[in-house]
Chain A
Amino acid sequence: LAKTTQPISMDSYEGQEVNITCSHNNIATNDYITWYQQFPSQGPRFIIQGYKTKVTNEVASLFIPADRKSSTLSLPRVSLSDTAVYYCLVAEQEGKLIFGQGTELSVKP
């Protein structure tokens, strides 16, 4: 059964680089991979999006291998304010939009 899966939780310390990987083995051929950040009692917020290889913006990088069956969100030098839940979102071959279960990142001082 095709699923979009992520680690449930991760711990890190301030100043470290954090990499969160999402597995999406049924991703639609022509669709993008998007990552969202969610703080408690708020709706998710867009972080970054990509189709292939590497994308970088002011807050994160996204690495996508050639087969596109996974993607890795990279947060450089995290701070306490990066403590949040991170979700990947893909459209599957059948056209369904599927969020991963979310990765709860805890950044410690």
Chain B
Amino acid sequence: NAGVTQTPKFQVLKTGQSMTLQCAQDMNHNSMYWYRQDPGMGLRLIYYSASEGTTDKGEVPNGYNVSRLNKREFSLRLESAAPSQTSVYFCASSDRLAGGPGTDTQYFGPGTRLTVL
């Protein structure tokens, strides 16, 4: 039981390049999330998927796209990377309990450190 896995662990891009960050969970969770973490800013939600086949914007969605490929996998794509997207990206998953989105306990992956030159 690996929990939440992310690939790659590190990536360096040039401005304008594209790439996809992969995330998979083996806990049979319905909800999955993508966050970015920048110094002094905490974690900010980019996109989330409450269930297979649905995605919604979070706090900072501009410049990103997501795909909920199946229940296990949720990918994040940068179509044209910019230096402002240099950050650590975390994927998380949770099982939706009764109540609002803040009720869920999220399980996080180890993160992807992305640098855009």
Question: Which residues in A have some Cβ–Cβ distance to B below 8 Å?
Answer: 8, 27-28, 30-34, 36, 41-46, 49, 87, 89-91, 95-102
Contact = CB atoms under 8 A, between A and B. Distances in A.
Contacts of A34: 102, 105-106
A45 B109 CA distance: 10
Contact of B102 (A36, A45, A90): A90
A97 B44 CA distance: 9
A45 B48 CA distance: 18
Contacts of B44: 99
B53 interface: no
B110 A32 contact: no
B34 to A, nearest CB: 12
Nearest to B57: A96
A99 B42 contact: yes
Contacts, number: 72
Contacts of B102: 27-28, 31-34, 89-91, 97
Category for how many chain B residues contact A = 20 to 34
Contact of B42 (A27, A43, A95, A100): A100
A43 B90 contact: yes
Interface string B89-108: 01010000001111101111
A27 B39 CA distance: 24
Nearest to B94: A46
Nearest to B106: A46
Given A31-B101, A91-B101, A99-B43, 17 more contacts: A28-B102, A31-B103, A32-B103, A36-B106, A43-B90, A43-B110, A44-B106, A45-B108, A87-B43, A89-B102, A89-B106, A90-B102, A91-B100, A97-B101, A98-B45, A99-B44, A99-B45
Contacts of B58: 96-97
A46 B105 contact: yes
Interface string B25-61: 0000000010100001111110010000000001100
